[in-house]
Structure 1
Amino acid sequence: MRDKMKIGYARVFKMVQNLDRQIEALENAGTEKTFKKKMSGKKHDRWERIKRSSLISA
């Protein structure tokens, strides 16, 4: 059986906001890979979604 990898996702809605606290909390939770996003909630980042889904389905 394959070990499960913990994947984290940190996101802020405004470019002036900081991801540091979210990333720290995810690292403390044992995530091995963290995706980060700093964008408006109106924009969709299809490439990040594709990367996440490819890791999850692998």
Structure 2
Amino acid sequence: AGDNTVSGRITFIRDMGSSVEVHLDCDGRDVLSVVQPRDWMGAGTGDIAHLRLPQNQCRVLAA
């Protein structure tokens, strides 16, 4: 819980070497996170994850 925090079910994980791509289903919306390996907790597809979005590190892309 807290500011800029979302929770969702992990739907996809891809090891990209220097980072991990993680997709979360957050109430029907796909949220993509790229996580550095040292921060990766090793959760699996289907697990619930809590994603903290530090304002100074977020990038919004138009679809």
TM band (smaller chain): under 0.3
Which TM-score applies when normalising by structure 1?
0.27
Q: Which of these two proteins has the greater Rg computed from alpha carbons? A: 1
Relative to its length, the structure with more helix (as a share) is: 1
Relative to its length, the structure with more strand (as a share) is: 2
